[in-house]
Structure 1
Amino acid sequence: RTALPDGLDEVVFQNERGEVCDGTITTVFFDRGQGLRTPPLTSGLLPGVLRADLACQEELLMAEDLPRIRLWVGNALRGLIPAFFCSQVSPPEAPLPTPRASGGDI
């Protein structure tokens, strides 16, 4: 999280099919005009506490849809936080380390 560019507080992950999963420490919630929704567990996300408490309907969310919907992220400690999509993030200056298959330190 300390590596995030100024002004950004969260990163949202997508799976290999382009479906939105989770944030680094949050669950993703969205509204397309039919009430609060969250991606289904089948997209590869974790069953968060806030997600269970809100008991909202599940619906697939594709990464390409993020700029066109109302978006929130949240967790049990922080609650539901309004969010916005930002795709203009520059890659890190230094190359990322490559993990070793042996399980040693990076």
Structure 2
Amino acid sequence: MESGSFVTGPGGRRLLIGGSQAGTYLWDPAVLAGPNYPNQVGKNNYGGAREYVTADFDGDGVDEVVNLNFDDTGHDLMAQSLGGRYQVSNNALTQVTVNTLT
């Protein structure tokens, strides 16, 4: 997981969301208590869902998730400007996906 936060699911259910290069995952917050980590309660599999923003965009009380893939090229260009290099073989297309929690 690259990032995580809480979102509001259907019926006001509080969920933990995590973004990674392979997708976005949802868990019941009880997963934080450990030590056994249950499977996710929901997920999407997108090549590049590491960055995301959540909000109730349509006003129905349930958060939507907007996924963005990570800007590897931008990080590489910044590292080059400082005399270094950030080389990653990920050349996935830039994409934006919007998901509704149901």
Report the TM range for the smaller structure's normalisation. Answer: under 0.3
Which structure has greater strand proportion? 2
Normalised by the size of structure 2, how large is the TM-score? 0.26
